[in-house]
């Protein structure tokens, strides 16, 4: 009886190990994105960030991003990490949210009334308008840190 059980274990154990290892190999890799926001002019309020995986709603939608978060302002720069992102192209939008409403306040012409920024730090002016996703997107294949400079007005 013991010999029979030993034969079953000899066959079964490698099979179970093989199955469990194949599940590990199939797991999709994920990355961590660290965003450093520089040039913050105010020492009150919060910096809100939103990560987008495509152009849908970029950069102004309050519901389209795949991850978001806000950080209390404690100096002229802040850092926020986003975990579990699959490799691909992403873009990040940032708002210096002075009034706590979690969105970029704009005047009747659409000009921002709070600080803002986008990944790749594209030019944002009356002529260029709001940049498209492809101007602000970047490839994320491994853990990456990006820097975003805050703007407190349109570029000339």
Residues in the chain: 156
CB neighbours of residue 39 within 10 Å: 15
Q: Is residue 96 within 8 Å of 115, Cβ to Cβ? A: yes
User: pLDDT 10s digit of each residue in the chain, 156 long?
Assistant: 555 545 544 554 444 444 444 445 567 799 999 999 999 998 899 999 999 999 999 998 878 899 999 999 999 999 999 999 999 999 999 999 999 999 999 999 888 999 999 999 999 998 999 999 999 999 999 999 999 999 999 998
**Among candidate residues 104, 46, 38, the one with its CA nearest the CA of residue 73:** 46
**Among candidate residues 79, 111, 94, 96, the one with its CA nearest the CA of residue 41:** 96
Tokens for 25? 């190999």
Tokens for 35? 């965003």
Q: How far apart are CA 7 and CA 78, in angstroms?
A: 60
In 3-state terms, what secondary structure has residue 19? helix
Dihedral-angle region of residue 8 (phi above 0 means left; psi in -120 to 50 means alpha; beta otherwise)? alpha
Give how far Cα 104 sits from Cα of 60, 61, 86, Å.
8, 10, 27
């Amino acid at each position: 009886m013991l010999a029979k059980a030993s034969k079953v274990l000899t066959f079964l154990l490698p099979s179970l190990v093989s199955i469990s290892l194949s599940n590990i190999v199939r797991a999709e890799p994920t990355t961590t994105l660290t965003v450093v926001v520089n040039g913050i002019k105010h020492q009150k309020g919060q910096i809100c960030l939103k990560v987008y995986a495509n152009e849908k709603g970029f950069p102004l939608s309050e519901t389209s991003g795949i991850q978001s978060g806000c950080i209390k302002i404690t100096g002229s720069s802040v850092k926020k990490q986003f975990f579990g992102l699959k490799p691909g192209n992403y873009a990040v939008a940032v708002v210096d949210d002075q009034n706590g409403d979690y969105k970029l306040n704009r005047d009747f012409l659409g000009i921002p009334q709070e600080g803002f920024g986008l990944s790749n730090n594209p030019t944002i002016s009356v002529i260029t308008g709001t940049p498209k996703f492809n101007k602000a997107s970047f490839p994320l294949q491994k853990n990456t840190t990006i820097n975003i400079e805050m703007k407190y007005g349109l570029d000339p």
